[in-house]
Structure 1
Amino acid sequence: MSIHRSMSLADWGQLVLLSVVWGGSYLFVGLAVQELPPPVIVLARVAIGGFALVAVAGLSGMRLPLTVAWWLPITVMSILNNIIPWNLITWAQTEVPSGLAAIFNAATPLFTVLLAQVLTDDEKMTVGKLAGVVLGLAGVAVLIGPSALAGARADLWAQAALLAAAMSYALSGIWARRFSDRPPLATAAGQMVASTVMMIPITLALVPGWTPAMPGPPTIVSVLCLALLSTAFGYLLVFRIVRSAGATNLSLVTLLIPVTAVLLGVVVLDESLDARAGVGMALIALGLTAIDGRIGRRLSRALRRGTA
């Protein structure tokens, strides 16, 4: 499979849209967790999102195959991209601040670059990619600010869980490459169905004594937004981006999420944008530019022409 080293304008647009959709999930989870246990939220997220995707697939005349060869790789994707990271992150955030968790999550592109070097033939590491990821990670740390590092002495197991979640996300991005010949709708629907089947026994095991009760309207709306917007729509974008731009470029969304969160706060909540946020976003922009590589290649060609 051929993967473009540089993303098109459409790819960048989809990546930014995904960062907005996934950035909003933190708000939805924050509201829902006030009334629902985390495993229940994860189960509702994949079940409702999966139902919506299967319904859309059915209305469009698409049927999910009933073969082991089709479902086995989908199940692996569900484990790497949903079951492992979502449960690890949910548990870890009971021990560490959300800002520190975001910094750990932003390590996903670094893991992706390193893993892609070993596991792929067409997404090899370059100096620009590695430098760009490091710049982007530094930008996220600056953007979130020193307050996030207040949890740096927190439970080492929680920090290890966050690193494991980032590694799992990176592996899932590379694994998703094998679905490039499948319609994104079918892949996303299958992933949510498999995640739902696995989350049912996990939820029963983690919250055995929980008694269901009707949550309030804010919680219901938050869960629906989390399932339909952040999950169903979000994963349609995921498989489109992987198919056209590759796993490394998809992982850049973890660098963009803090940026969109800050900008949404400025636009929607009338929050102020301080100098630290500006420096952080500038570092992230430099990192993304280095990873994209087009400007560097143009400068290199211009220098070669100038010395010829």
Structure 2
Amino acid sequence: MTSASLIRLFLLAAIWGGSFLFMRMGAPVVGAVWLIESRVLLAALFLLLVALVTHRALNARRHWRHYAVLGVVNSALPFLFFGIAAQTLSASLLSILNATAPLWGMIIGLVLGYQKISLRLISGLGLGLMGVALLVGLDAHLVASGAGLAVLSALAAAFCYGVASNYARSAPKVDSFANAHGSMWAATLLIAPLMPFFPPPSQPGPDIMIALLLLGVVCSGMAYLLYFRLIADEGATSALTVTYLVPLFGVLWGTLLLDEVVGWHTLFGGLAVVMGTFLVTGVSWRQLLPSGGQSHG
């Protein structure tokens, strides 16, 4: 991996780790539905601006069904589930539970016949489940506050990402930027009908408004651009290593900016989840080492 790509990788992990910080700030104030509708709409508008400037076609008439599927399983549902969970759970815990997505993808792949059982996969799944058990079972605050449904909601979000990764195996071959752009508009249209059933929040303070703006434009719109650049430069497998780095930044931002307390069970549980994901995806850490060659910086 080139030095420029390595910088983009860590920047992307920092941004996506920050998304859980902003959801944790916004969800208790504006609610999950209004929070996520703001997120996907702002992302869609930002990507529309980029598409107009770079003359990238969406081809919505041809691929609208594909965008609708992605909008459901890769944006609308997981974002809503995380929005619900963020009303209760810490940003640190949300970011770690998000890292279980490849584990769910592996389980779904086994059921559908895309994956074959191996010692590496079973070991990764076992480590991941042990990590979740440590995170949830030993957190007295979760037990006391009855946050079990919030944990299930966060895991359901990660499960949706596992569904999306398996759908990608048979999905139409569409440009990655168009996938992001089209799916964000699809998610916007899919969530909009829910809004009348939830009272609009009172005027949020400036800090919440800034969090919503950053969540939509930076953590969704700009992050996709960074991710697609990584895929183009280094390949999908190397870009996937961002999965291991996001929890590190999620815990860091939650600790520094929200004064979240990180216990030993959070550290060891998070490490088990990340290592389980590492085994399941089979990515080599050598792919993170800077390599020679021309930089695209």
Flag whether TM exceeds 0.5 (same fold). yes
Indicate if the aligned counterparts of 2:128 and 2:272 stay in contact, CA closer than 8 A: yes
Indicate if the aligned counterparts of 1:74 and 1:191 stay in contact, CA closer than 8 A: yes
Indicate if the aligned counterparts of 1:23 and 1:258 stay in contact, CA closer than 8 A: yes
Q: Separation in 1 of the partners of 2:259 and 2:147?
A: 35
Determine the structure 2 residue equivalent to 1:57.
Answer: 51
Question: Which residue, 143, 146, 149 being the options, matches 1:151?
Answer: 143
Indicate if the aligned counterparts of 2:78 and 2:161 stay in contact, CA closer than 8 A: yes
Q: Separation in 1 of the partners of 2:144 and 2:206?
A: 36
Q: Separation in 2 of the partners of 1:119 and 1:241?
A: 29
Q: Separation in 2 of the partners of 1:11 and 1:145?
A: 38
Measured at CA, do residues 47 and 275 of structure 1 come closer, stay the same or move farther in structure 2, by a change above 3 Å? closer
Determine the structure 2 residue equivalent to 1:44.
Answer: 38
Q: Separation in 2 of the partners of 1:127 and 1:152?
A: 37
Q: Separation in 2 of the partners of 1:164 and 1:89?
A: 9
* 1:1-308 correspondence runs (5 A): 16-33=10-27, 35-67=29-61, 69-94=62-87, 97-98=89-90, 104-119=97-112, 121=114, 124-139=116-131, 146-147=138-139, 150-151=142-143, 154=146, 158-178=150-170, 181-204=173-196, 206-207=197-198, 209-210=199-200, 213=203, 215-237=204-226, 244-245=235-236, 250=240, 253=243, 256-263=245-252, 279=268, 283=272, 286-287=275-276, 289-291=278-280, 293=282
The Cα of 1:48 is off from its aligned counterpart by 0.9
The Cα of 1:52 is off from its aligned counterpart by 0.6
Indicate if the aligned counterparts of 1:113 and 1:125 stay in contact, CA closer than 8 A: no
Deviation by residue 1:206-233 (Cα, 9 ceiling, x = unmatched)? 32x42664x3321221111101111112
Q: Separation in 1 of the partners of 2:212 and 2:31?
A: 12
Q: Separation in 2 of the partners of 1:150 and 1:269?
A: 17
Measured at CA, do residues 262 and 200 of structure 1 come closer, stay the same or move farther in structure 2, by a change above 3 Å? closer
Give the gaps of 5 or more residues in structure 2: 285-297
Q: CA RMSD in A?
A: 4.2
Give the gaps of 5 or more residues in structure 1: 1-6, 296-308
Measured at CA, do residues 133 and 180 of structure 1 come closer, stay the same or move farther in structure 2, by a change above 3 Å? farther
Measured at CA, do residues 228 and 292 of structure 1 come closer, stay the same or move farther in structure 2, by a change above 3 Å? same
Q: Separation in 1 of the partners of 2:67 and 2:122?
A: 30
Q: Separation in 2 of the partners of 1:173 and 1:110?
A: 11
Q: Separation in 2 of the partners of 1:111 and 1:196?
A: 25
Q: Separation in 1 of the partners of 2:95 and 2:272?
A: 16
The count of corresponding residues between Structure 1 and Structure 2 is: 282
Measured at CA, do residues 124 and 12 of structure 1 come closer, stay the same or move farther in structure 2, by a change above 3 Å? farther
Deviation by residue 1:175-222 (Cα, 9 ceiling, x = unmatched)? 234568432221111111111112221112x32x42664x33212211
Paired residue secondary structure (2:58): coil
Alignment-mate amino acid for residue 83 of structure 2: T
The Cα of 1:32 is off from its aligned counterpart by 2.5
TM-score by length of 1: 0.71
Paired residue secondary structure (1:33): helix
- Bigger shift: 74-83 or 17-26? 17-26
- Bigger shift: 70-79 or 180-189? 180-189
Q: Separation in 2 of the partners of 1:33 and 1:294?
A: 34
Deviation by residue 1:74-130 (Cα, 9 ceiling, x = unmatched)? 111111122222223333454x53366556544322211111234464x54432133
The Cα of 1:31 is off from its aligned counterpart by 2.5
Alignment-mate amino acid for residue 191 of structure 2: M
Q: Separation in 1 of the partners of 2:214 and 2:180?
A: 17
TM-score by length of 2: 0.73
The structure whose Rg is larger is 1
